[in-house]
């Protein structure tokens, strides 16, 4: 989620577009997010699927990796629109799963922990993304941010699958 610190450098150093390119990439991401939010709000009924959560998170990670190989403004604009679209699906799905599966008495506490994990860790993620980008360039910054997040999503997915297939001990 901290790839936003890389976008200005990507627009300037990779796409050779400067402020105009930066604005265009952010606008594309925002437009994709808007479409994703409208789609999710119109379609979701009941509890969101865990597969949507894992799939959207992994897909955003893979698309960030692919940004390392894109050096064309039109392709980058399209990619950022898709990333914004899928990213908002991920965010809404996480938020919905947490709220719908928390009991009423703990929902406020659970959401405060979620908010801390979502927004409170931003300085650490920005430090990672900024450090990588400073040393290796914006393309590699996207690649490593996508690879690291994809790796952790893969670990979480494996953990979920293992828990589903292990019989629960009765007490």
Query: CA nearest 72: which of 31, 26, 15, 1?
Result: 15
pTM score of the predicted model: 0.86
* Structural domains of the chain sorted by starting position, each given as residue range(s) with its CATH number in brackets: 3-164 (1.20.1250.20)
Q: What percent of the chain has pLDDT over 70?
A: 94
Q: Which letter, b or e, does each residue of 2-20 get, where b requires 16 or more Cβ atoms within 10 Å of its Cβ?
A: bbebbbbbbbeebbebeee
User: What mean pLDDT comes out for the span 110-133?
Assistant: 84
Residue carrying the six token digits 């490593």: 144
| Residue 105 DSSP symbol | T
Q: Does the pLDDT at position 171 exceed 60?
A: no
Q: Does the pLDDT at position 50 exceed 90?
A: no
Rg (CA), the chain: 18
Q: Does the pLDDT at position 170 exceed 60?
A: no
């Amino acid at each position: 989620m901290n790839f936003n610190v890389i976008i200005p450098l990507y627009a300037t150093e990779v796409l050779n577009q400067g402020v105009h390119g930066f604005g265009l990439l952010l606008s594309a991401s925002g437009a994709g997010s808007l479409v994703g939010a409208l789609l999710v709000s119109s379609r979701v009924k009941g509890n969101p699927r865990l597969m949507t959560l894992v799939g959207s998170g992994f897909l955003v990670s893979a698309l960030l990796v692919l940004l390392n190989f894109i050096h064309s403004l039109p392709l980058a604009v399209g990619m950022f629109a898709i990333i914004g679209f899928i990213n908002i699906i991920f965010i809404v799905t996480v938020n919905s799963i947490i709220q719908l599966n928390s009991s009423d008495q703990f929902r406020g506490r659970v959401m405060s922990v979620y908010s801390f994990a979502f927004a409170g860790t931003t300085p650490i993620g920005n430090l990672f993304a900024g450090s990588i980008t400073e040393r290796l360039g914006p393309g590699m910054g996207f690649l490593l941010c996508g690879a690291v997040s994809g790796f952790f999503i893969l670990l979480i997915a494996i953990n979920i699958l293992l828990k589903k297939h292990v019989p629960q001990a009765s007490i």
